Amino acid sequence: MGSKTKKILFVCFLLICFIFINNSSIFVSKSGRPYLLAHRGLAQTFPMEGLTADTNTAAIIYEPEHPYLENTIASMQAAFAAGADIVELDIQLTKDGQFAVFHDWLLDYRTNGSGAVREYTLKELKQLDIGYGYTADNGRTYPFRGKGVGLMPALEEVLAAFPEQELLLHLKSEDKEAGEKLADYLSTLPTDRLKLLSVYGADGPIAVLQERLPDLRVMSKATMKRALLSYLLIGWTGYIPRSLRNTQLHLPINYACFLWGWPHRFVQRMDTVNTRIIIVNGSGKWSEGFDTKEDLQKLPKDYSGGIWTNRIDIIAPFFKDK
């Protein structure tokens, strides 16, 4: 073996050692518990198998174990009381330019109304029964029918009800106009309140928010793609690309292990640049959450990032003593 070959091998050895040490979690102090994100507050859940974009999930709920309906102030109160650190909620632009808190773009599945949310004023939406369509037995009974009248809140009401809590807003629109309207509204909030909010959604409206409110933590498929591709290319050096700063990452547990420094070094790096990590279960396609004790076994030991759950009431007690 020639001296030139030996030098190349030595340099390669040093590079491998650097990459290992620089990205190993062995040397990272592990402290603190994960922060828990309650998806849509404390909500009714349903099986994830066989879901499509058109599935009426209100018609396939499990037998109810609690009285709460998703995206209501009561469900959010219950989630925070159970131990949530942050609550996720869905917002839709209404006919009169306000933001209603509701998941589906159509009213037909969950309510006694019909048509798109955007075709109604906020006042009209508040007259609907948002529990109307829920059934756990193929339509034989409707346990929440008549109990959801007037429970669809406005975003403004939610912010007033939780002035000091962290909230993740899912903007359910692909129109830039929705981004403009939301930016207009959020711009009126005090800086301290804005720091407790994050927003995710489609590329167009999120790009508007990112431009108009650069200090707001936002996420879309485009921001995720830019951030993760750039990190995969140069993250091994320890440098954190600009696209990965002051943002939000929803990482499927099935793929997170491919990130440089995963888990503890990566979480530590993101903390230093005001980027929130939320781990979702499985491939992350249908908002799968860590909803059982068995699900939690998939998490890395001593993991201290964010956890997405649809059953905060079940998951939070496992972290009370941490």
- Which residues are identified as catalytic? 39, 103
Q: Where are the alpha helices (DSSP H) in 235-300?
A: 253-256, 264-272, 293-296
Residue 74 CA to chain centroid, in angstroms? 19
Residues 6 or more apart whose Cβ sits within 8 Å of residue 234: 241
**Chain position carrying tokens 């109604």:** 120
Q: In whole angstroms, what is the distance from residue 188 CA to residue 195 CA?
A: 13
First to last CA, the chain: 55
Q: Kind and range of the H or E element at 198?
A: strand 197-201
Q: Kind and range of the H or E element at 35?
A: strand 35-39
Q: How many CB atoms lie within 10 A of CB 189?
A: 15
